[in-house]
Amino acid sequence: MSLFEIKCPMCKGTIWIDPATGKVVDHQSADHQKGDFNEFLKSRQKGVAWDDRFQKARDEEKKRKADIEQKFKQAKDSPDSENGEKPMSSPFDWD
């Protein structure tokens, strides 16, 4: 009798299934490593650099938004017209 051995890609556990009955014969959970507090502290220190990068990106996004708002307001206040014509005020003036 040959058993199917299946390894879970998520939890790395293993189960053995009997192909004749389709039932689980045995299972073995994966050994998970315990977390190290010093490794956690090192990762937190590296996280500070990420925080700085996110803050810089936020500031750049605010600056871009302010520039776009300024350009929009400027274009709204003094629209450029071609050939010195008055810009159309409604779609009915297109004829």
Tokens of 16: 């053995």
> pTM (2 decimals)?
0.37
Tokens of 19: 């192909």
Averaged pLDDT score across all residues of the chain? 82
**Where does the pLDDT of residue 45 fall: very low under 50, low under 70, confident under 90, or very high at 90 and above?**
confident
**Quick one: how far is CA 81 from the chain centroid?**
42
Tokens of 88: 């159309």
Q: Which of 23, 22, 18 is nearest to 2 (CA)?
A: 18
Q: Which of 15, 18, 13 is nearest to 1 (CA)?
A: 18
Domain boundaries, the chain: 1-31, 33-70
Q: Tell me the residue ranges of DSSP E strands in the chain.
A: 4-7, 14-17, 24-28
